[in-house]
Amino acid sequence: MESALISHAEIYIGMAVIFGLFMAWGIGANDVANAMGTSVGSKALSFKQAVMIAAVFELAGAILAGGEVTKTVRKGIIDVSSLGHAPELLVYGMLASLLAAGIWLLVASRQGWPVSTTHSIVGAIVGFGAVGIGMDAVHWDKVGTIAASWVTSPLLAGTMAFFLFRSIQKLIINTEKPVEMAKRYVPFYIFIVGFVIAMVTMVKGLKHVGIKLPMEENMAIAAAVGIAITIIGTIMIRRIKIDPAADSDFNFTNMEKIFGVLMIFTAMAIAFAHGSNDVANAIGPVAAIVGIVQSAGDIVAKSATPVWILMLGGGGIVFGLATYGHKVIATVGSGITELTPSRGFAATLGAVVTIVLASGIGLPISTTHTLVGAVLGVGLARGIGALNGNVIKTIFMSWIVTLPVGAALSILFFYIFKACFN
């Protein structure tokens, strides 16, 4: 059968690249739109600025810190050892998974539903694995861990965002002079953002290029980066023109301008965190297909993800956001609860920390769930009346159907490819 793999090698790799790009486009249109929804919804950034920030930091996250989760998506979910005699089944399955997940993301993005790209691809891989290889080939314990993270990640991000926003209310909003207090405390929040992102890059990202530093050095470098970013942020805050007349309608207009600066940094952070976790959903299967075809059917347990594949994923994601991201941005940015820069900041940072922790341990969690959880947390900190129940209901329903739809489509395409190539 290996001869079929060799004779069709170029077709398989070509299909993998096309379907991988389609899937990455879907991630951009749906998931990155989620990630940028808080920044655009709170008016801290325009849509164009959000796309530019995403372009740089999604790619950086994918290339510097995206390899760990790729491994889980590629081989952690199904046991491929039984496929030694028929490696082409894994190629058909991964192609089917990419196409299935890409189609569902296209449908959801058209409707403005922020669904989970992680759900879509994991559901698709489990579907073809259970039917095409056998129920016992699926690592159900691994799937269980991932499924559990879909509950724990929104809870964790929601809790963090809730307490972050409470700290902002206590230190800044509910004081006599919110503008002065914002000038005093916002630099500390900027430092946290810089430190967290630098820390992930040091601990996870530099492994790919063979640099491994002791923990103390990582902490010191991350702190230095945090301080540098804080200095830049503080200079930007000093340049803001405070207009006392602007506060006559809404007491916090000038204070929110200061948080607007902070949202620029959190937008960079969320794009980086998202690139490091979710680019794997598009390129994990591509890397698996390329690996099998290039090794003439040998299912390699360990192989580094080539940088060109990481770049393919990152590029497709940015293109998806730019061309089709506006609908989901509207849902997350203003549909769930009304966001201002201070609220958007608390939601984004809560989500970033959660995603970054998950990336670190190689858990493909859902950015969508994490972010929606964080936005809900901020809404709750303002009181239950601040949440839009109907929008939340629709979002939860779209989450529930994602797994079975991904699995069903994947099984269908798996049999089509099997029939075409065998």
The rounded mean pLDDT for the chain is: 79
Provide the 10 A C-beta neighbour count for residue 19: 24
pLDDT, greater one: 392 or 14: 14
pLDDT, greater one: 337 or 166: 166
CA distances, 44 to each of 150, 283, 298 (Å): 28, 31, 50
User: 69 near 368, Cβ under 8 Å?
Assistant: no
User: 44 near 260, Cβ under 8 Å?
Assistant: yes
pLDDT tier for residue 248 given thresholds of 50, 70 and 90: low
Q: Which residue bears the tokens 């994601």?
A: 317
The span from the CA of 373 to the CA of 379, in Å, is: 10
Sign of the C-alpha dihedral, residues 150, 302, 103, 54? positive
So what's the pLDDT on residue 409? 93
Distance between alpha carbon 275 and the CA centroid of its chain, in Å?
6
Q: Is the per-residue pLDDT at 137 higher than 80?
A: no
Average pLDDT over residues 180-200: 85
The span from the CA of 321 to the CA of 26, in Å, is: 8
Average pLDDT over residues 164-186: 87
CA distances, 165 to each of 13, 38, 171, 340 (Å): 47, 14, 10, 12
Q: What is the DSSP letter of 246?
A: G
Query: Whole-model pTM above 0.85?
Result: no
Count the helices and strands in the chain (H runs, E runs).
16, 0
Of 31, 8, 20, the closest CA to residue 109 belongs to 31
User: 364 near 142, Cβ under 8 Å?
Assistant: no
Q: Is the per-residue pLDDT at 149 higher than 70?
A: yes
Q: Is the per-residue pLDDT at 90 higher than 90?
A: no
CA R_g for the chain: 22
The model's pLDDT over 194-245, given as tens digits with 9 standing for 90+, comes to 887 787 667 655 555 566 777 788 889 889 999 999 999 899 888 888 877 7
Over 131-190, what HEC string results? HHHCHHHECHHHHHHHHHHHHHHHHHHHHHHHHHHHHHHHHHHCCCCHHHHHHHHHHHHH
Strand, helix or coil for residue 78 = strand
So what's the pLDDT on residue 415? 92
pLDDT tier for residue 296 given thresholds of 50, 70 and 90: low
User: 142 near 80, Cβ under 8 Å?
Assistant: no
Average pLDDT over residues 271-288: 76
